[in-house]
């Protein structure tokens, strides 16, 4: 197959030809994707007669060893990570069209437990009866046998791209958010390059074992690209262990099947919500990388999350954001899993986690905890229109609990909005591409750690402020000796009572003395005011655009007037030409 798009288009056309009229377009993916996995597995078992060897081994030992002892014997005999002991595969199923439904069930039940778990999560059985009753099951099986999906013909990277392209198309058909399934490969490549840019000196040589974890792993693209980068760019002999958790059953099944096929431990991919059902509780990882869904509610996890937030050592004890966006919860989850010796975290966000929430809010308290613990190393503003389902601004955050000496107490901001090429053809909303050359330039900016037009470096407290309450006295009108006058209302101690209607707030940078700021910026304009320091709240926000703002002088009135007159003369000439004057 020439490329992943050709293969994805072929599979798409098969789905459209066979399923049209019988299923709704938004159901195509639920049927097509598991068949794609099954065909991939069949092609692997065809090699070296693994399929027939598995059947022979099963028959040889089934009456002589306990049932639970059979799987390791079969796997060792066929030198694979899975097997099928039925006499069927998709090709052999087409030899008996009359009994294809029953034989298909036997075929699925013949797989080893890991594969059965994958198929169950696809929930394919709800469609098989309808396919069979309408004579489409035979056709669908037959169509898929025409495509050779053996890894020698379609490598794992290409296969991953095929799944992602099909997920994007099927998601568009069902109006789902394709960004929840996967992240564009150029974004992943940049994220991975940033993640592994520091402390490489400890990653060379023999005996290096490192883990990469993704709590929203989708189809597993970030994990596999991370491992590939590590092996190719840092240490080809390293033992890289991939682990992840995924909520969506379909993408979990795809990810687990990919791990199974590539020889990874399939049990390292777990199903469920990372927020309310942490399947890696108590574990620590060297590298963590993810792209959590943008602006998605966490109400379904609320009870468990808030209960854990109340515990001193809980993952969410720094704070909880508003229920409409759980992105910062995923970041806290990852930071809770950092190794004491040092971990690195890379995460993709939209703009909300940078500044949403006033001082004292959950979002601000989470930012405060991150920055005051000196975890935040760098934020990179990405080009717009990078993602398939949205054109909003996005950012990469890099965090660590092992900053280099030069970076301690500082945060690096990189403005990469112009580091992209325009694509010849849009893919959904995506028409910007970060090239390999752009990635090299951005990594250079990152590792140089010097201020330039595109790079700013600030101390941690630069992003903090104290929200100060400015009070003014409550004044009541009263009559004294027959004349109306205004009187300041006082409490029992003789202090003026504040007027809540006149209450105001000032944000005083942490780098400034509050009293000095008040005397300079407030008191001259509101002489009867005072500040109530008991109400002070510390907040943190990162207003990225402000730091890279470039002033553009306004055009002069004369320049604008001259342009208007020129346009009038031009339009008058065109009008005369049209009318023949």
| Residue 541 · residue 355 · CB < 8 Å | yes
SS3 content of the chain, % helix, strand, coil (to 5): 45, 20, 35
Burial class (CB in 10 A: 0-12, 13-18, 19+), 19: buried
Q: What is the pLDDT of residue 554?
A: 77
Domain match, 396 and 485 both = no
Q: Which of 104, 136, 166 is the last residue of a domain?
A: 166
Domain match, 301 and 427 both = yes
| Residue in the structure block whose two tokens are 């690209």 | 225
Q: How many CB atoms within 10 Å of residue 362?
A: 19
Domain match, 60 and 145 both = yes
Tens digit of pLDDT at every position of the chain (581 positions): 458 888 989 999 999 999 998 998 888 999 999 999 999 999 999 988 999 999 999 999 989 999 899 999 999 999 999 999 999 999 999 999 999 999 999 999 999 999 999 999 999 988 999 999 999 999 999 999 998 898 889 988 899 889 888 888 887 776 554 445 568 899 999 999 999 998 888 888 899 999 999 999 999 999 999 999 999 999 999 999 999 999 999 999 999 999 998 889 999 999 999 999 999 999 999 999 999 998 899 999 999 999 999 998 899 999 999 999 999 999 999 999 999 999 999 999 999 999 999 999 999 999 999 999 999 999 999 999 998 878 889 999 999 999 999 999 999 999 999 999 999 888 878 889 999 999 999 999 999 999 999 999 999 999 999 999 999 999 988 876 777 788 888 988 888 999 999 999 999 999 999 999 999 999 999 999 999 999 999 999 999 989 988 777 777 888 888 888 888 777 766 656 655 65
| Residue 329 · residue 321 · CB < 8 Å | yes
Give a yes or no: residue 456 inside a domain: no
Q: How many CB atoms within 10 Å of residue 340?
A: 8
Domain match, 338 and 439 both = yes
SS3 398: strand
Distance CA 553, CA 322 (A): 39
Beta strands in 79-233 (DSSP E): 209-214
pTM of the predicted structure, to 2 decimals: 0.88
Distance CA 499, CA 196 (A): 55
The enclosing domain of 376 has a CATH number of 3.40.50.150
Q: How many CB atoms within 10 Å of residue 497?
A: 14
Provide the residue range defining the domain that includes 128: 4-166
Distance CA 383, CA 385 (A): 7
| Residue 396 · residue 289 · CB < 8 Å | no
Domain match, 43 and 119 both = yes
Give a yes or no: residue 355 inside a domain: yes
Domain match, 206 and 266 both = yes
Distance CA 364, CA 370 (A): 10
Domain match, 43 and 112 both = yes
Element (H, E) at 505: strand 504-509
Distance CA 121, CA 253 (A): 6
């Amino acid at each position: 197959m020439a490329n992943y798009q050709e293969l994805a288009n072929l599979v798409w056309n098969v789905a459209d030809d066979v399923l049209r009229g019988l299923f709704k377009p938004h159901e195509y993916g639920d049927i097509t994707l598991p068949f794609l996995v099954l065909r991939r597995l069949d092609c692997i078992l065809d090699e070296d007669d693994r399929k027939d060897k598995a059947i022979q081994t099963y028959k040889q030992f089934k009456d002589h060893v306990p049932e639970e002892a059979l799987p390791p014997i079969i796997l060792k005999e066929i030198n694979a990570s899975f097997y099928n002991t039925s006499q069927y595969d998709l090709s052999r199923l087409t030899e008996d069209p009359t009994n294809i439904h029953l034989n298909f069930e036997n075929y699925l039940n013949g797989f080893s437990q890991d594969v059965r778990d994958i198929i169950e999560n696809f929930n394919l059985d709800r469609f098989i009866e309808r396919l069979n009753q309408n004579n489409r099951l035979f056709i669908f099986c037959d169509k898929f046998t025409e495509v050779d999906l053996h890894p020698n013909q379609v490598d794992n990277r290409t296969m991953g791209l095929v799944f992602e392209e099909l997920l994007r198309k099927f998601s568009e058909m069902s109006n789902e958010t394709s960004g929840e399934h996967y992240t564009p490969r150029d974004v992943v490549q940049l994220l991975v390059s940033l993640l592994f840019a520091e402390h490489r000196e400890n990653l060379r040589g023999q005996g290096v074992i490192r883990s990469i974890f993704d709590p929203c792993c989708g189809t597993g693209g970030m994990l596999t690209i991370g491992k590939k980068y590590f092996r190719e760019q840092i240490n080809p002999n390293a033992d890289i262990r991939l682990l992840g958790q995924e909520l969506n059953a379909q993408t979990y099944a795809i990810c687990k099947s990919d791990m199974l096929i590539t020889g990874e431990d399939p049990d390292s991919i777990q199903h469920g919500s990372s927020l309310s059902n942490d399947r890696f509780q108590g574990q620590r990882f060297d590298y963590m990388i993810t792209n959590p869904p943008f602006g998605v509610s966490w109400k379904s996890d609320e009870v468990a999350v808030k209960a854990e937030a109340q515990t001193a050592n809980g993952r969410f004890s720094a704070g909880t954001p508003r229920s409409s966006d759980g992105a910062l919860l995923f970041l806290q989850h990852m930071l809770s899993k950092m190794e004491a010796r040092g971990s690195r975290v890379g995460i993709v966000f939209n703009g909300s986690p940078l500044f949403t929430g006033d001082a004292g809010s959950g979002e601000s308290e989470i930012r405060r905890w991150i920055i005051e613990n000196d975890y935040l190393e760098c934020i990179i503003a990405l080009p717009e229109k990078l993602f398939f389902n949205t054109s909003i601004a996005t950012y990469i955050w890099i965090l660590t609990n092992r900053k280099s000496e030069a970076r301690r107490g500082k945060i690096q901001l990189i403005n990469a909005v112009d580091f992209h090429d325009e694509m010849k053809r849009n893919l959904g909303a995506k028409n910007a591409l970060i090239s390999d050359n752009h990635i090299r330039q951005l990594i250079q900016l990152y590792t140089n750690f010097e201020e330039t037009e595109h790079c700013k470096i600030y101390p941690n407290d630069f992003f903090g402020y104290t929200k100060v309450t400015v009070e003014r006295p409550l004044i009541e009108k009263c009559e004294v000796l027959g004349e109306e006058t205004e009187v300041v209302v006082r409490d029992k101690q003789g202090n003026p009572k504040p007027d809540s209607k006149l209450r105001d707030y000032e944000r005083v940078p942490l780098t400034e003395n509050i009293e000095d700021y008040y005397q300079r910026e407030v008191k001259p304009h509101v002489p009867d005011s005072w500040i109530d320091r008991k109400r002070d709240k510390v907040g943190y926000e990162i207003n990225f655009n402000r730091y890279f703002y470039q002033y553009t002088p306004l055009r002069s009135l004369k320049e604008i007037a001259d342009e208007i007159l020129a346009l009038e003369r031009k339009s008058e000439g065109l009008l005369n030409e049209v009318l023949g004057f």
